[in-house]
A and B are shown apart, each in its own frame.
Chain A
Amino acid sequence: EVQLVESGGGLVQPGGSLRLSCAASGFTFSSYWMHWVRQAPGKGLVWVSRINSDSDGSYTSYAASVKGRFTISRDNAKNTLYLQMNSLRAEDTAVYYCAGSSGHNWFDPWGQGTLVTVSS
């Protein structure tokens, strides 16, 4: 069964840091491009970041709103995707989903999401 399971969310103060993880199983993780997509409470979907597969050079890209604050990475030996989030702001409050794409940037599969709340 194809599965993505996020963890690491929680409550953090403004200016704080958090690292999200996404454990993959049931598919060839190393050959997938991987993404983080977030959804603020009651709002729509917003793409956050992407990391290409190793065969494509592990290239990364970011939304302008998080560039310089968030870092995406992957460990193919552990089938795990990460998102290091620094200098967090209230507007980063959202459910963060990890998602995969196999060569083209539509998203499938998706994880169930992990909630990040930035508040004092």
Chain B
Amino acid sequence: DIVMTQSPDSLAVSLGERATINCKSSQSVLYSSNNKNYLAWYQQKPGQPPKLLIYWASTRESGVPDRFSGSGSGTDFTLTIGSLQAEDVAVYYCQQYYSTPLTFGPGTKVDIK
């Protein structure tokens, strides 16, 4: 199984400042035949289901604000919130879809400082 880890567990950022979340996979999720990273990011607010933000490690889902961006390749990935807004308070999860079982990171809680 591919184990996903995230850091930090939580972070508090001032409004308008940048938030950076890291995700690491226990093995590469880069598929060589198409040069795509099988990595997605989700946002989950309290009492709500997760919401897809990014897939292919860096492709923003339709309707997601452009302050959210994803980067990385192979085993190391980053989700960046360029200018934190109050509505971005949530838990963020990475997920690999390279192989089953599909696995998520443990989540990173983002709060306002």
A45 contacts B50, CB within 8 Å? yes
Q: Report whether over half of chain B's contact residues are helix, strand or loop; otherwise say mixed.
A: loop
**Smallest CB-CB separation from B99: which chain A residue?**
A105
B88-111, CB < 8 A from A: 93, 95, 97, 100-107
A residues less than 8 Å from B51 (CB atoms)? 110
Q: Which of A63, A104, A106 is packed against the most chain B CB atoms within 10 Å?
A: A106
How far is A50 from B66 in the complex, measured between Cα atoms in Å?
A: 31
A106 contacts B50, CB within 8 Å? no
Per-residue CB contact flags for chain B residues 47-90 toward chain A (1 = under 8 Å, else 0) read 01111100100000100000000000000000000000000000
Chain A-chain B contacts (Cβ-Cβ < 8 Å), number: 54
How far is A75 from B72 in the complex, measured between Cα atoms in Å?
A: 39
A50 contacts B52, CB within 8 Å? no
Task: Check: B40 CB closer than 8 A to any chain A CB.
Answer: yes
A47 contacts B102, CB within 8 Å? yes
Shortest Cβ-Cβ A-B pairs, 7 listed:
A105-B97, A110-B49, A106-B40, A108-B52, A47-B102, A45-B104, A106-B55
- B residues apposed to A, CB below 8 Å: 38, 40, 42, 44, 48-52, 55, 61, 93, 95, 97, 100-107
